[in-house]
Amino acid sequence: MKGSLIALDHVGGMEAAALIEDGRVTDFFIDGDLPRPGTVYRAISDRPVKGQGGMFLRTPDGPAFLRQIKGLAPGQPILVQVTGYAEPGKAIPVTAKLLFKSRYAIVTPGAPGRNLSRAIRDDDLRDSLLEVAHDVLGDSALGLILRSSCAGVDGAEIGEDIRAMADLAETVIGDEAGEAETLLKGDGPHALAWREWTLPAAVETQDGAFEDHGVMDALEALQSAHVTLPGGGAMYVEPTRALVAVDINTGGDFSPAAGLKANMAAARELPRQLRLRGLGGQVTLDLAPMGKKDRRGFETALRAAFRADTVETALVGWTPLGHYELQRKRDRIAFSGG
């Protein structure tokens, strides 16, 4: 099937969404039992952590950890937002810098200014979008970022989106006093699909949409660590407690260029595999053998592949043993089947 399709369905009783491009599943969201990123708490300061510059907080969903605190005393309420999924046995990661994010607009309390995505380069369009923002927000102290998805969208629709996020932000930030409470739940998979997958696409919402479009087959393949790469190579994506290990092999190709070919194919496929599997944290690549002179070309391919990825990822670099390391935000549930 050519073109893009968004399928909204459920897996194992959990809400899920899949993005299918030219018949291939390229992105996937699934819900879980952990607090969703974007959730806003009125948390209560509990105890500082000496040497780390952080503070443990009490929330309705358990302990949270806030980094880089200043002037926060135990017992004091503070508004915080979940930034990602907690590792097993660890506190919920939160920030005091709240973002209210929708399809076209991100409202930023505490960070004033009117900003536009760098992807919007047309000066006339930029001017018209800023005019819409000014008409809606006026002299409000709320900050605003207009996303690249605004391109080609009617100004009235963008204005409604800005107003909805601004009203939500004002309601939440005006509710700082009191005991620990959940003030806003993060978006679930179906809402995330509407918010993040803004490319032109058909949408199917009926029960069985995943079966109809091969999503369940793709999810079944994710149960295996093995990933076949173009050209005959393979990689194995295996999460451990400490990190995600990615082992790249040449398969049956023993030619001098086999290692470089397998590594380049892995670089192009890795962002998709990490997205679909919901994997984050430290990622260590054990590459197929290749010369040091080929490292720059591999890094260029890897950088290009992750530039188009939606999950924040830092390309850290080479280790003394010749492995390559990434650090990836944990903003998805690790998929383990259903």
With a CB cutoff of 8 Å and minimum separation 6, the contacts of 96 are 66, 78, 79, 80, 81
| Mean pLDDT across the chain | 94
**Span of 1-10, 38-47, 67-76, 323-332 with lowest mean pLDDT:** 67-76
CB burial string 230-260: b at 16+ within 10 A, e below? eeebbbebebeeebbbbbbbbeeeeeeebbb
How large a percentage of the chain has pLDDT more than 70? 99
Residue 310 confidence (pLDDT) above 50: yes
Residue 247 confidence (pLDDT) above 60: yes
How large a percentage of the chain has pLDDT more than 90? 87
Instruction: Provide the phi-psi class of 127: left if phi over 0, else alpha when psi is between -120 and 50, else beta.
Output: alpha
Q: What pLDDT score was predicted for residue 50?
A: 78
Average pLDDT over residues 69-84: 91
Looking at residue 293, the DSSP 8-state letter turns out to be G
Residue 196 confidence (pLDDT) above 70: yes
Q: What pLDDT score was predicted for residue 290?
A: 94
Predicted model pTM: 0.91
Residue 106: closest CA among 196, 184, 180, 27: 196
Phi, psi of 113 (to 5 degrees): 125, 160
Residue-wise pLDDT for 28-72, tens only, equals 999 999 999 999 999 999 998 877 779 999 999 999 999 877 778
Residue 21 confidence (pLDDT) above 70: yes
Residue 73 confidence (pLDDT) above 80: yes
Residue 337 confidence (pLDDT) above 70: no
Residue-wise pLDDT for 121-156, tens only, equals 999 999 999 999 999 999 999 999 999 999 999 999
Q: pLDDT confidence of 336, banded at 50, 70, 90?
A: low
Place of tokens 């204005």: 159
